[in-house]
Chain A
Amino acid sequence: MTVSAVLILIGCQSEFPLNKDLTKQNYNFFNHDSVEISFPKINLGRITVIGFIYTHCPDICPMTTHNMFLTDQRLNNDGIDNVNFVLLTFDPDRDYPSILKKFAQIRDIEFDNWLLLWNTKQNTNLFLKRLNILAISTDSSYTDNGELNYYVMHTDRISLIDRKGHLRKNYKGSTVNLDELYNDIKTLGEY
């Protein structure tokens, strides 16, 4: 009986290799409606799936977003509607809240349980650093109209945060195994 309990405990721990408390510091952001919120405080009591994107990214970031969208749909189909989904931009110079909102709307994302977050580069970087996420501007050029264009080299990441605001697991955002993410959410939430 004791051995079984230990094995179960080890099994649960291996599913969630991290336990980093994100509530020790207050991170303020503006949501897609430009309302200031504190994260992860706003989502305490709910499981959060957070992805890191920039809207001028045509390939990897839409994959990450789509993976989260599909997971949300699957949870909804199973009657689980209290998981929150968050997208944080690491390109705040271009991704203002209104831009983020349009990015979500054109993908049929509903804002009942989704947040798109923005803050200045300095504040955003504080949070990114806490989650060991890198985002580096590369290959800049000017368009015919003189507009600066650049890409961002970045960590490809979706993270799972528990109800207490603890980071529990990271996934490769664009290629995450959707079954794994879904099952982890159900296990963590005891659904």
Chain B
Amino acid sequence: MITLLAFLFLFYSQENSLQVKNQWMRPGVKGMGTALYFEVENPTDKSDTLYKVTSEVSNMIQLHETYTKDDLVGMREVAEFVIEPGYSLELKPGGYHIMVMKLKSDIKKGDEIEFKLHFKNADSIIIRAKAK
């Protein structure tokens, strides 16, 4: 009975908390930068905000967006990503991304790197992203 309750609690918690999926990143050279992408689903009834990402691989990680102006492309830091209740936020090439700068080591294709995503409401979520 206790096991069943624990399972139901776990199932309910997972279904009603932020979900991060489809994470991946690009390869990168030590000392240089790369980008991390993923999708965050928010099935809860409250909005949440991703405001920081940390990792052992870099001390300089920023939330970024790519933008177009006068037929030129650029990127800039943004303070946070808000995920509205019932919606998903997709970080993808050419749009929002996590900029991982000054890499402490090379990241080769196939490497998996751990990142910690910090949200204002939810607990931090740890993900492992594969370089491809």
Interface contact A60-B108, CB-CB below 8 Å: no
A99–B30 Cα distance when bound, in Å, is 10
The contact of B94 among A106, A136, A153, A175, by CB within 8 Å, is: A175
A169–B5 Cα distance when bound, in Å, is 64
Q: Which residues of A contact B75 (CB under 8 A)?
A: 57-60, 151
Question: Interface size class for chain A?
Answer: 20 to 34
Interface contact A58-B99, CB-CB below 8 Å: yes
Interface contact A58-B26, CB-CB below 8 Å: yes
**Which residue of B is nearest A95, CB measured?**
B32
Residue B100 lies at the interface, judged by CB distance under 8 Å to chain A = yes
Q: Give B19 Cβ to nearest chain A Cβ, in Å.
A: 24
Interface contact A138-B74, CB-CB below 8 Å: yes
Of residues 59 through 76 on chain B, the ones whose CB sits less than 8 Å from some CB of chain A are 59-60, 64, 66, 69, 71-76
A171–B125 Cα distance when bound, in Å, is 39
With A59-B66, A154-B73 as known contacts, state yes or no: A108 contacts B109, CB within 8 Å: yes
With A58-B35, A106-B106 as known contacts, state yes or no: A153 contacts B66, CB within 8 Å: no
Question: Interface size class for chain B?
Answer: 20 to 34
Q: Give B58 Cβ to nearest chain A Cβ, in Å.
A: 11
**Which residue of A is nearest B93, CB measured?**
A63
Interface contact B73-A153, CB-CB below 8 Å: yes
Residue B97 lies at the interface, judged by CB distance under 8 Å to chain A = yes
Residue A118 lies at the interface, judged by CB distance under 8 Å to chain B = no
The contact of A155 among B27, B28, B34, B71, by CB within 8 Å, is: B71
Interface contact A59-B32, CB-CB below 8 Å: no
Of residues 111 through 169 on chain A, the ones whose CB sits less than 8 Å from some CB of chain B are 134, 136, 138-139, 143-144, 149, 151-156
Q: Give B95 Cβ to nearest chain A Cβ, in Å.
A: 8
Residue A62 lies at the interface, judged by CB distance under 8 Å to chain B = yes
